[in-house]
C-alpha cells in the first residue's frame, strides 16, 4: 500500500504541471482531493477485499465523499500510478477494474448497467485518459492507451489505441501500436466535419465537376447576396452552402481543374 501511495504521488508530479518542488509535495499531501480519495480508497479496499469487512469500508467511502466530492466504492480495484485531477463529482462503481497509469478528470462516471449480481461495471485498461464528465457504463472493456473525450458516453467496448468521443461514444481515431499523449485530450478530431467532408466529396462526384465550373456562387452564398436561379442549379447552391460550413470551421474547400474537389 505504501509503495502504491509513493507511486501515486510521483504520478501526480509527472501529470500535473501545477505541482512543483517540495511545496508541491505538501500540496499533494494536504490539499489534493484526488490523492486523498485514492489514499482512503486503498485503505477501504484492503479492508473490503482482504479482511472481508463491509460496513467500515463504506464509512470510509462516505467520509472520503464528504471531504473530496469523489465517490469510489470499496469494492472497486484501482491499479498503480492512478491520477484523479480535480475529481469533483466522480463516481466509481463496485465491480469496476482500473488498470495502471490511468488519468481521470472531474465528473467521470464508471457506472453499472442492470441489477444483477456480479460484474456489472466497466474494466479500464492501462494508460487510459478519461476526460471531464465522461461516462463509461456497463460491463464493457476500455482497452489500453485509450482516450475518452469530455462528456462522452461509452456503452460498448473500445479497442486498444483508440480515441472515443460523442454520445453514444464512437471511435474516431485508431492508432495501432502508437501511444497517445494522455494530457492532450483536448486535441480530438471533429467527426461532424469529417462526415460532412465525405458527403461533400460524394456530392461532387454525383453532380460532376463540369456542372460546378459553370456556376460560381461562393461569394454570393457566404455573403447572403441573391443569386440568379436561371443560371444556377440547386446542386450548386448546396455545394456552396457546404463550402460556407467549412469556412465557419476555418477550412477552405478548393476545386482543381481535373479533380472533383478537396478540402484543406
Give the span between the Cα atoms of 115 and 118, in whole angstroms.
9
Closest to 135 (Cα-Cα) out of 111, 106, 166, 102: 111
Angle at 112 between CA 139 and CA 168, to 5 degrees: 75
Task: Give me the pLDDT at residue 116, please.
Answer: 82
Q: Would the pLDDT of 217 be above 50?
A: no
Task: Give me the pLDDT at residue 239, please.
Answer: 62
What is the per-residue pLDDT across 26-68, written as a single tens digit (0 to 9) for each? 999 999 999 999 999 999 999 999 999 999 999 999 999 999 9
Task: Give me the pLDDT at residue 183, please.
Answer: 60
With bands split at pLDDT 50, 70 and 90, how would you rate the model's confidence at 192? low
Q: Which three cell numbers, joined as nine digits, stand for 257?
A: 481543374
Task: Give me the pLDDT at residue 207, please.
Answer: 59
What is the per-residue pLDDT across 63-105, written as a single tens digit (0 to 9) for each? 999 999 999 999 999 999 999 999 999 999 999 999 999 999 9
Task: Give me the pLDDT at residue 131, please.
Answer: 93
As beta bridge partners, residue 253 has 263
Give the span between the Cα atoms of 92 and 73, in whole angstroms.
6
Average pLDDT over residues 203-220: 54
Residues 6+ apart with CB under 8 A from 84: 33, 34, 35, 37, 38, 70, 90, 104, 105
Average pLDDT over residues 183-195: 63
Contact status, residue 82 vs residue 96, Cβ threshold 8 Å: no
Q: Would the pLDDT of 262 be above 90?
A: no
Residue 243: exposed, middle, or buried by beta-carbon count in 10 A (0-12, 13-18, 19+)?
Answer: buried
Q: Where are the domains of the chain?
A: 2-174, 191-263
Q: Give the side-chain half-sphere CA count within 13 A for 24.
A: 13
- 90 alpha-carbon distance from chain centroid: 15
Q: Which three cell numbers, joined as nine digits, stand for 99?
A: 488498470
Q: Would the pLDDT of 247 be above 70?
A: no
Q: CATH code for 2-174?
A: 2.160.10.10
Per-chain mean pLDDT for the chain? 81
Task: Give me the pLDDT at residue 1, please.
Answer: 74
Task: Give me the pLDDT at residue 109, please.
Answer: 97
Give the span between the Cα atoms of 25 and 163, in whole angstroms.
32
Amino acid at each position: 500500500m505504501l509503495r502504491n501511495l509513493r507511486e501515486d504521488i510521483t504520478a501526480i508530479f509527472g501529470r500535473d504541471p501545477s505541482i512543483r518542488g517540495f511545496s508541491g509535495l505538501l500540496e499533494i499531501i494536504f490539499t489534493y482531493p484526488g490523492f486523498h480519495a485514492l489514499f482512503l480508497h486503498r485503505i477501504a479496499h484492503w479492508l473490503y477485499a482482504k479482511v472481508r469487512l463491509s460496513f467500515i469500508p463504506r464509512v470510509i467511502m462516505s467520509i472520503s465523499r464528504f471531504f473530496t466530492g469523489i465517490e469510489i466504492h470499496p469494492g472497486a480495484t484501482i491499479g498503480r500510478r492512478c491520477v484523479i485531477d480535480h475529481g469533483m463529482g466522480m463516481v466509481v462503481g463496485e465491480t469496476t477494474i482500473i488498470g495502471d497509469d490511468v488519468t481521470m478528470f472531474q465528473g467521470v462516471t464508471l457506472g453499472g448497467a442492470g441489477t444483477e449480481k456480479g460484474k456489472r461495471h466497466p474494466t479500464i485498461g492501462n494508460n487510459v485518459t478519461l476526460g471531464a464528465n465522461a461516462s463509461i457504463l456497463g460491463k464493457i472493456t476500455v482497452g489500453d492507451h485509450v482516450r475518452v473525450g469530455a462528456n462522452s458516453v461509452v456503452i460498448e467496448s473500445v479497442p486498444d489505441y483508440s480515441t472515443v468521443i460523442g454520445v453514444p461514444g464512437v471511435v474516431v481515431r485508431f492508432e495501432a501500436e502508437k501511444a497517445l499523449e494522455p494530457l492532450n485530450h483536448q486535441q480530438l478530431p471533429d467527426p461532424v466535419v469529417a462526415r460532412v467532408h465525405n458527403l461533400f466529396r460524394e456530392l461532387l462526384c454525383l453532380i460532376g465537376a463540369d456542372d460546378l465550373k459553370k456556376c460560381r456562387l461562393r461569394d454570393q452564398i457566404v455573403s447572403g447576396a441573391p443569386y440568379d436561379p436561371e443560371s444556377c442549379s440547386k446542386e450548386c447552391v448546396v455545394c456552396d452552402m457546404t463550402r460556407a460550413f467549412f469556412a465557419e470551421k476555418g477550412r477552405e474547400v478548393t476545386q482543381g481543374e481535373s479533380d472533383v474537389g478537396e478540402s484543406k
